[in-house]
Amino acid sequence: MTTPDPDGVLAEQLMRFTRRVHRIQKRHLELSDLGVTPAQARLLRTLAHFGAPPRMADLAERLEVVPRAVTTLVDGLEGSGKVRRAPDPTNRRVIRIELTDEGHETLRELRRARQSAVREILAPLTDVERAVLGELLDTLIDGTSAGRC
């Protein structure tokens, strides 16, 4: 007789939860009617975290995708007026990617949609449970168990 694998059960729960989070976020993104895909939304959020307009290669590295994937995403976002390609002021061979005013507005709407999704996801939890979840997620993200016995 074999004993159940508790890590296997936990792994399955994590995978199911991840899929649920993605489904809820996708639904809220679609309800916001911004005309961006989840991948484009991720690129816009990533672009906003750079201090200065990045190169395509910088975006690809940060997103952990191949540069060609970034080109396709930027093409779509540029076509809808949310980003623009701009020449680098110090190296004319380099193109940088900038958010347009419409891109900034889309980003604000994306944040609202994301906040709405988070409220839905966390609704079943009490404030104490949310705090515990936050600590557990920090531990999983950092990969350390700081402060634990």
* Contact of 56 with 95, CB cutoff 8 Å: yes
Give all strands (DSSP E) within the chain, no chain letters.
83-87, 95-99
Span 24-63, pLDDT tens digits: 988 988 888 888 999 999 999 999 999 999 999 999 999 9
The whole-number pLDDT of residue 2 equals 64
Span 83-119, pLDDT tens digits: 999 999 999 899 999 999 999 999 999 999 989 999 9
Residue with tokens 């990617």: 97
The whole-number pLDDT of residue 145 equals 62
DSSP-derived secondary structure letter, 140: H
Closest listed residue to residue 81, CA positions, set 105, 108, 48, 54: 105
DSSP string, 19-52: HHHHHHHHHHHHHHT----HHHHHHHHHHHTSSS
d(CA 56, CA 95): 8
* Contact of 63 with 46, CB cutoff 8 Å: yes
- Residue 148 pLDDT level (bands cut at 50, 70, 90): very low
Torsion of CA 126, 131, 133, 136, to 10 degrees: -160
**137 CB neighbour count, 10 Å cutoff:** 10
- Residue 8 pLDDT level (bands cut at 50, 70, 90): confident
